Structure 1
């Protein structure tokens, strides 16, 4: 990487000599400005990015020391290197107060300048690496927090998280300052229909994940008193949760209005960036977070508060959210379905033992692992069968079956007809 350096000296011979004689590219720098006074330097850095300033300490209007003080006071991320004559060396101690990186004496030797520049570059490289590491850690922490919030709502809606004390503990852990007994929330969906040319299954999955990540980022800019948590994506639908973090004193009307208002902004971004239309679906409002917990068999099911102002799907069944580990397993299967994928592979991917994963998968999906993989493959086969350029035996291989005869057998068991018969039924 090349760092940007500005040379500041009121003596033209020194200024131009430094600019022309030093091997800047070889040292990892690009000279972006040659300036004759600290006043010019201040004006320049206000509108141009600079990494290093090499400046004389004594100049007519604004000295190098004053320039260093300005950089320090304004918190510019710029390394200062000051050059002075022997008589001005008493300023060196003062320069330390402004975190000047190096101090050179006139007459400067080229070898000394090179060494100082190498030292500064080493320091810049180290700081850059530390910033990148800190950013990576921050991004990982944000991603982990997002996953934990998704997991929380998934378990809440699935009924696997029901104890009030544990819900409160988990809310604190995922940094949602709400009271589950009084804070209203919403479950809603964003539909993004696919109206373009046919898209292959794997490409469609990648597109869905891309849109999911985009919406996740877009809603980060809309967080205020309402927190929006993207939960999962499926076939053009993004499942979302929204919760009031004001303390629960605003009521359902407020969170509904906020959901609509925030969605309007995100909808515009989806249209502008992705070129897709979007709409709200399946909006279900709850007077308190605890109402998301499915009722016990002996109790009446908590009813969501009806909302005539929003576009609500008429279906009586609440939206089902799988636990995060099952979501992750399903995503992995959908990505690897055409390979020789085993239950052990998926269990290892989600960090569970094969036996426990098998039981959990059956409990949460109602199907065993093999049946689910078969279903994914047959559904993909149906997609390919709608495209006449693919031969049936080619589709068998594409979806992961080496034996066409075996593929025919499974397809007929699932669809009630052979692949050829299915294709012939297509309009």
Structure 2
């Protein structure tokens, strides 16, 4: 349900819209009703509102003034004017201030339902597009992190990557878990262990050298991490019959 605020200085109209119009049928829920633009602005600053159905001529702050103020604040609230005045000047000012629709109070019941059905469809499309853009952006961020780790696995840190993608480290930790399906520390260990396995297939490297090459200053910690990951020590891994074919990890 989209959250709807109704603003009209006429009590009967305001009360009638709130109580007798089937908003839930067209996908809206009335979260409040106010008498003028000033009250509407104060309400919007304190509560989540998706759409405001607003009269134009109201005391203290008119609908036009409210629309202008919300526009200056870059508010995402969708404004729908509901007015008794069929006036080109009002309509023009409405468009200039980002008002989505101009509905006359003479509109009948079915026309109002139809209008808000279309408004809901537009809001659904906006949310779908925003969600898709968010997914695309999330994918790019995860790809950037993985590409960085692929070449800097030795000294990669969450704090360093947070700076790279302009995020707070705590937020990035949650973001990575949500979008990559694992903790960042788990992914870093995965990359380091796979790299270590590749190095172990080359007899020129000593175990303690490989430990340092993949980011472990303490070879004991490296051996423990390697055994937890592959189920065997680096020595056993290297000594197995075909060391070039290491065990498949559970990560893609």
TM-score by length of 2: 0.67
Runs of 4+ in 1 over 6 A off after TM superposition: none
Give the distance between the partners of 2:58 and 2:171, measured in 1 at CA: 52
Give the distance between the partners of 1:188 and 1:134, measured in 2 at CA: 27
Q: Is the 8 A contact 1:37 1:60 kept in 2?
A: yes
Secondary structure of the 2:31 match is: strand
More helix by share: 2
Give the distance between the partners of 1:215 and 1:139, measured in 2 at CA: 16
Give the distance between the partners of 2:157 and 2:210, measured in 1 at CA: 13
Determine which of 216, 237, 243 is the counterpart of 1:367. 243
Secondary structure of the 1:319 match is: helix
CA, structure 1 residues 15+216, in 2 after alignment: closer, same or farther (shift >3 Å)?
Answer: closer
Give the distance between the partners of 2:157 and 2:17, measured in 1 at CA: 63
Shift of 1:368: 3.6
Which residue number in structure 2 is paired with residue 79 of structure 1? 78
Q: Is the 8 A contact 2:149 2:156 kept in 1?
A: no
Give the distance between the partners of 2:68 and 2:103, measured in 1 at CA: 18
Determine which of 191, 214, 227 is the counterpart of 1:321. 214
Secondary structure of the 1:49 match is: coil
Shift of 1:217: 2.2
TM-score by length of 1: 0.41
Which residue number in structure 2 is paired with residue 217 of structure 1? 172
Q: Confirm whether residue 149 of structure 1 aligns to residue 148 of structure 2.
A: yes
Give the distance between the partners of 1:232 and 1:67, measured in 2 at CA: 51
Give the distance between the partners of 1:219 and 1:103, measured in 2 at CA: 43
Q: Is the 8 A contact 2:7 2:53 kept in 1?
A: yes
CA, structure 1 residues 218+149, in 2 after alignment: closer, same or farther (shift >3 Å)?
Answer: same
Q: Is the 8 A contact 2:36 2:60 kept in 1?
A: yes
Q: Confirm whether residue 37 of structure 1 aligns to residue 46 of structure 2.
A: no
CA, structure 1 residues 144+64, in 2 after alignment: closer, same or farther (shift >3 Å)?
Answer: same
Q: Is the 8 A contact 2:57 2:63 kept in 1?
A: yes
Q: Is the 8 A contact 1:79 1:100 kept in 2?
A: yes
Give the distance between the partners of 1:72 and 1:145, measured in 2 at CA: 35
Give the distance between the partners of 1:110 and 1:367, measured in 2 at CA: 77
Shift of 1:321: 3.4
Unmatched 5+ stretches in structure 1: 158-185, 190-213, 221-228, 240-296, 298-314, 323-333, 338-361, 377-427
Q: Is the 8 A contact 1:79 1:120 kept in 2?
A: no
Give the distance between the partners of 2:56 and 2:108, measured in 1 at CA: 17
Give the distance between the partners of 1:56 and 1:188, measured in 2 at CA: 55
Give the distance between the partners of 1:318 and 1:88, measured in 2 at CA: 77
CA, structure 1 residues 62+88, in 2 after alignment: closer, same or farther (shift >3 Å)?
Answer: farther
Give the distance between the partners of 1:18 and 1:100, measured in 2 at CA: 20
Shift of 1:106: 2.6
Secondary structure of the 1:80 match is: strand
Shift of 1:61: 1.1
Which residue number in structure 2 is paired with residue 110 of structure 1? 109
Shift of 1:119: 1.3
Deviations 1:282-318 (A, max 9, x none): xxxxxxxxxxxxxxx9xxxxxxxxxxxxxxxxx6764
Give the distance between the partners of 1:23 and 1:188, measured in 2 at CA: 54
Give the distance between the partners of 1:40 and 1:82, measured in 2 at CA: 16
Unmatched 5+ stretches in structure 2: 159-168, 176-183, 193-203, 216-228, 232-237
Shift of 1:87: 5.4
For the pair shown, which has the larger CA radius of gyration, 1 or 2?
1
Which residue number in structure 1 is paired with residue 188 of structure 2? 232
CA RMSD of aligned residues (A): 3.4
